[in-house]
Amino acid sequence: MATTYASADTDAHDGKPKFWVRWFFSTNHKDIGTLYLILGLIGGLVGGFLSIMMRLELSEPGLQFFGNPHTYNMFITMHGLLMIFFMVMPIIIGGLGNWFVPLMIGAPDMAFPRMNNLSFWLLAVALVCGVISMFLPGGAGGAGFGGSWVMYPPLSTSGHPGPAFDFLIIGILAAGFSSIFGAINFITTIFNMRAPGMTMHKMPLYAWSVLVTSWLLLLSLPVLAAAMIMLFTDRTVGTGFFDPAMGGDPLMFQHLFWFFGHPEVYVMILPAFGIISHVIATFSRKPVFGYLGMAYAMVAIGVVGFVVWAHHMYTVGMDVDVKAYFLAATFVIAVPTGVKVFSWLATMWGGSIRYSIPMQWALATIFLFVIGGVTGVFLASAGLDTAAHDTYFVVAHFHYVLSMGAVFAIFSGFTYWFGKMSGYLYNKWLAGLQFWLFFIGVNLAFMPQHFLGWQGMPRRIPDYFQEYQLLNQISSYGSYMSAIGVIVFIVWVIEAFIVKRKAGDNYWGEGADTLEWTLSSPPPYHQYSKLPQIK
């Protein structure tokens, strides 16, 4: 159903909604998706700046920029929270999800358009609260930020007075409610608003990934919200949920946090899997291999993702039998992930592959995610994890999964659908330059961190022994190269809107039809008046 506006809210010349009405009160899924993409870019730029400052500090031993180590810890905390809640999630779910899930399933819009608008503005308020917290008393010099993005008490309770951390908790709660509302919206839309003939087993894989992700959010975020509210009351009104002196248990916070925190990893990576499935199928000129297996592998990842949370907590003193359970459950989750990697390779096997920019990003995603997955299996072993815990090996692992897996998939999807969203073509040379700057830069940044971690360098510490200097310098140079890649990305987006090369109906090239999602799922019978023929 098209959105209607009062006459006072429309332009007298063309009847379109005025700027303020369109962008601040929008109930159009494409406009809200665009707003999410812009917010994600802002969050990513701020979070990326913090990471560059951290790498500048770590380029040499000693303290260069952060006279107070707590300021460095605040940068680490905000970098993690901004990148997860305000960059990856807004873009890969809010932005691309809002844009393409209704289009893929033949729905006129999201099920609850006004709640869609509310979800976005809650997230914008959350971002403002997070950024403000950096400048309040107890922010830049506050010890509580030493708990990093995981916010463990007692560092985040009695160890951190001042309003800064309270603002941060409020921001996380707002972001959580934003995601819960968005998840309800996606689930309702996908279950109730599919076009005739678009059965669940014909639904495109990106829509499947958003559906599974929405269930993960709906089931895990209330647990995080409960933990945040208890943390807030411990700090402000004197409750003792996590204070042993009052009968509380700080380990309970870790259980509550990671019950959310591990599904959160799949919240970020499952939509990436959906995007990769589309890109691989389109540029291999083949339907995706094992469509149903791919869909239910995502469901399996979502289910098992809820029962492996304590592999983040091997060092807290848990019983050896409990460790054995979480070790085995974590190994199991590698199976459906392996099914997906196998299916992507099988899709490309015998296909007519075209190495376009989106395809390059997709292939790099698979390669880097597999590296991160292998080190993840390594860390699932309780004995090995105890040795590597809180070292840079862990940092390297999760950045290969997320900083490369999820973020590379975002760039793959953005370049893939850029013509659909903007109507313009990007400069292939500039986009290719950005890809190679990123690919080389992130590997230079994070591959050495495996070796630093295995040599014992602890994370969240701004100083280190002289022996770690060379690998740290290589890592820092890689982060600078990645930052140049971000600049090139912004340049090619602006250039595309300035030059305005029109994207045709078939801008992926001969053989890739306009309705590309028929390549990644069996086409529905009645969704379109004429289905494209896959050549």
- Interaxial angle between packed helices 96-105 and 407-422, expressed in degrees from 0 to 180 and rounded to the nearest 10: 60
Integer-rounded Cα Rg, in Å, for the chain is 23
pLDDT at 499 over 90: yes
pLDDT at 517 over 80: no
Instruction: Categorize the per-residue pLDDT at 156 as very low, low, confident or very high, splitting at 50, 70 and 90.
Output: confident
Give the integer Cα–Cα distance in Å for 354 and 352.
7
pLDDT at 142 over 60: no
In order of 232, 253, 261, 522, the CA distances from 248 in angstroms are 14, 10, 21, 54
Give the integer Cα–Cα distance in Å for 225 and 79.
20
- Tell me the helices (H) and strands (E) count for the chain, helix number first: 17, 0
Instruction: Categorize the per-residue pLDDT at 162 as very low, low, confident or very high, splitting at 50, 70 and 90.
Output: confident
Q: Which residues are catalytic?
A: 79, 109, 149, 178-179, 262, 264, 266, 277, 311-312, 337, 340, 459
CA-based nearest residue to 225, from 187, 249, 259: 259
What share of the chain has pLDDT > 70, as a percent? Answer: 90
Percent of the chain as helix, strand, coil, to the nearest 5: 70, 0, 25
Residue 48 tokens read as 């990326």
Phi first, then psi: what are they for 65, rounded to 5°? -115, -30
Instruction: Categorize the per-residue pLDDT at 534 as very low, low, confident or very high, splitting at 50, 70 and 90.
Output: very low
pLDDT digits (tens, 9 = 90+) for 293-310: 999 999 999 999 999 999
Residues ≥6 apart with Cβ < 8 Å to 416? 275, 278, 279, 282, 358
Q: Mean pLDDT, to the nearest integer, of 452-466?
A: 93
Q: What is the pLDDT of residue 141?
A: 45
Residue 371 tokens read as 């590296």
Instruction: Categorize the per-residue pLDDT at 530 as very low, low, confident or very high, splitting at 50, 70 and 90.
Output: very low
Q: What is the pLDDT of residue 18?
A: 81
Q: Which residue would you say has higher pLDDT here, 369 or 352?
A: 369
Q: What is the pLDDT of residue 352?
A: 87
Which of 48-57, 155-164, 488-497 has the lowest average pLDDT? Answer: 155-164
Give the integer Cα–Cα distance in Å for 345 and 293.
14
Q: What is the pLDDT of residue 147?
A: 62
Q: Mean pLDDT, to the nearest integer, of 511-517?
A: 47
Task: Assess contact for 96 and 158: CB atoms under 8 A.
Answer: no
Task: Assess contact for 71 and 141: CB atoms under 8 A.
Answer: yes
Q: What is the mean pLDDT of the chain?
A: 89
Q: What is the pLDDT of residue 67?
A: 76
CA-based nearest residue to 395, from 320, 479, 309: 479
Residues ≥6 apart with Cβ < 8 Å to 200? 194
Q: Which residue would you say has higher pLDDT here, 448 or 17?
A: 448
Strand, coil or helix: 10: strand
pLDDT at 513 over 70: no
What is the SS3 string spanning 242-254?
Answer: CCHHHCCCHHHHH
pLDDT digits (tens, 9 = 90+) for 308-332: 999 999 999 999 999 999 999 999 9
Up-side HSE of residue 213: CA atoms within 13 Å toward CB? 28
pLDDT digits (tens, 9 = 90+) for 239-250: 999 999 999 999
Give the integer Cα–Cα distance in Å for 349 and 10.
52
pLDDT digits (tens, 9 = 90+) for 369-418: 999 999 999 999 999 999 999 999 999 999 999 988 999 999 999 999 99
Q: What is the pLDDT of residue 347?
A: 93
Up-side HSE of residue 386: CA atoms within 13 Å toward CB? 10
Q: What is the pLDDT of residue 85?
A: 95
Q: Does the reported pTM lie above 0.85?
A: yes
Q: What is the pLDDT of residue 117?
A: 96
Q: What is the dihedral of CA 309, 312, 318, 324, to 10 degrees?
A: 70
Give the integer Cα–Cα distance in Å for 473 and 469.
6
Angle subtended at Cα 165 by Cα 308 and Cα 172, rounded to the nearest 5 degrees? 50
Q: Mean pLDDT, to the nearest integer, of 448-474?
A: 94
Give the integer Cα–Cα distance in Å for 370 and 386.
22
Instruction: Categorize the per-residue pLDDT at 286 as very low, low, confident or very high, splitting at 50, 70 and 90.
Output: confident
Task: Assess contact for 311 and 244: CB atoms under 8 A.
Answer: no
419: number of Cβ within 10 Å:
20
pLDDT at 5 over 50: no
pLDDT digits (tens, 9 = 90+) for 181-199: 999 999 999 999 998 888 9
Give the integer Cα–Cα distance in Å for 481 and 236.
43
Q: What is the pLDDT of residue 58?
A: 95
Angle subtended at Cα 76 by Cα 435 and Cα 329, rounded to the nearest 5 degrees? 80
pLDDT at 482 over 90: yes
Q: What is the pLDDT of residue 115?
A: 97
pLDDT digits (tens, 9 = 90+) for 220-238: 999 999 999 999 999 999 8
pLDDT digits (tens, 9 = 90+) for 58-106: 999 998 888 778 888 889 989 999 999 999 999 999 999 999 999 999 9
Task: Assess contact for 489 and 457: CB atoms under 8 A.
Answer: no
Up-side HSE of residue 271: CA atoms within 13 Å toward CB? 35
Instruction: Categorize the per-residue pLDDT at 533 as very low, low, confident or very high, splitting at 50, 70 and 90.
Output: very low
Which of 66-80, 134-148, 156-170 has the lowest average pLDDT? Answer: 134-148
